[in-house]
Amino acid sequence: MKDLPAGCPVNSASSSLQPVASGDRIAVLDILRGAALLGILLMNMEAFSGPLDLAFTGIDVRWQGIDYWADAFVYVFVQGKFFTLFSLLFGAGFAVMAQRAETAGREFTPFYLRRSAGLMLIGLCHALLVWSGDILVLYALASLPLLACREAPRSWLPWMGVIVYLGGAAMMLLLGAMVSLATPQDAQQMLVDAQQSIARERMVYGHGNWIQACIQRLHEFGSSMGALLITGPAVLGMFLIGSGLAGSGALAAPERHPRLFAALRWVALPLGLLVTVLGVAWKPYLAPGAYDLGVTSAMALVMIGALPMCLGYLAWIVQWRARLGWLAPVGRMALTHYLGQSLLCTWVFYHHGLGYFDVMPRSVQLLFAVLLFAAQVALSHAWLRRFRFGPMEWLWRAMTYRQWPPMRREAGRG
């Protein structure tokens, strides 16, 4: 869900780009990343513990009692809100890095392309070897048009982002219109295909070995590329919004923008919640394979509502940043923890691990997610007392800067 490092600082002595040290980081970005990581884990837990095609289908009718309300909570308040926040922070990191590169007088594009290529490699390994719900490959792809927007006027970026994001909702409506025009036989075949896909996931992940799971992930990876017309604009739109916010200084110095953050807290968040509730009330459950215009219209409303809700959450987290400083270490290790969540959860749920696939109640899933995140927070604090970076952040930096950054705190600054 999907970024991670805040950027790279300028070394005044050498006027070159170097891996960012803790003292050079924008603390609120790390706090926001930590909060986003929790939201993404809560959202992804359903897709870890059962078929991916049954996750993200609204409020699932198979749940009863507390499990139903747990599913409803995630759908209304979590799903699509923290994934967008994570995407916004990727764009913010891009703006920070670009500004520091300009200050250093160094060329930014080759550095950034190496960074994107490193992220692509990590994402492909994650998607094909660990879990097919990966978001890193999409981030790497969307980072390229973000680079192309670097010369756009800073004040344009948030509005460009909103337009691009809404383009994803428009593509969703277009998909629904096309499905609605299909013959009844074609519509029925889509439902059958969806059920067959779910059955295949249950068989492979619930009863198969790791090799069979990798083959299934390869199949799902190819299918997921077809969703780029919807998810791609949403991610790129949030990149642009985040880049605009960081470029304006609103994230580095939020106290200078009280009216903006007040509007996000008291106007954007309630408005987004209202739009989301309308979409949920229209179609609480989204049956797999049933993507007619009515269903995709409800999905589009939820997607549209997620944008102002995400911005409202951001504003409240910024408001409470002094109390949420304990989230900063986990935010500094967000890539490590994002991948770690996939490794641990697939081991717990898949047959080649402990084998709890498709059996954990929804409410217990959320409890498990909270406990896992608490463990990651504790691990982050302990790790960063001795080391400058998380393991995957260190590897990504090595790919980006073409040198091995000093890992232990005693070995370098920060």
**How far lies 402's CA from each of 9, 153, 393, in Å?**
16, 31, 14
Place of tokens 């809560």: 42
Strand, helix or coil at 79? coil
Which residues of the chain fall short of a pLDDT of 70? 1-24, 411-414
Place of tokens 């519509």: 187
The whole-angstrom distance between residue 189's C-alpha and the CA centroid of its chain comes to: 32
CB 40 within 8 A of CB 340: no
Domain boundaries, the chain: 10-411
Give pLDDT, residue 24. 53
Rg (CA), the chain: 21
Q: What is the pTM of this model?
A: 0.91
Q: How far is the first Cα of the chain from the last one, in angstroms, to the nearest whole number? A: 27
Inter-residue long-range contacts of 373-378, CB under 8 Å, 24+ positions, other chains counted: 373/37, 373/38, 373/41, 373/330, 376/37, 376/330, 376/333, 376/337, 376/340, 376/341, 377/34, 377/326, 377/327, 377/329, 377/330
Return phi, psi of residue 387, to 5°.
-125, 155
146-160: pLDDT as tens digits: 999 988 998 999 999
pLDDT of residue 40: 98
pLDDT reported for residue 226: 81
Residue indicated by tokens 């001795």:
386
| Residue 146 structure tokens | 């973000």
* DSSP reduced 3-state for 58: strand
Judge contact between 332 and 11, C-beta under 8 A: no
pLDDT tens digit sequence for 91-129: 999 999 888 888 888 889 999 999 999 999 999 999 999
Selection from 289, 350, 390 nearest residue 47 by Cα: 350
Residue 374, both tokens? 């608490």
Backbone torsions φ then ψ of 11, nearest 5 degrees: -90, 110
What gap in Å lies between CA 280 and CA 376, rounded to an integer? 32
- 72's tokens: 């409803």
pLDDT score for 261 = 98
Q: What is the DSSP letter of 360?
A: S
Tell me phi and psi for residue 121, to 5 degrees.
-65, -45
Q: What is the DSSP string of 196-257?
A: HHHHHHHHHHHH--HHHHHHHHHHHHHHHGGGHHHHHHHHHHHHHHHHHHHHTTTTT-GGG-
CA neighbor of 328 nearest in space, from 144, 15, 168, 89: 89
Q: How far apart are CA 243 and CA 317, in angstroms?
A: 18
Residue 412 has a pLDDT of 47
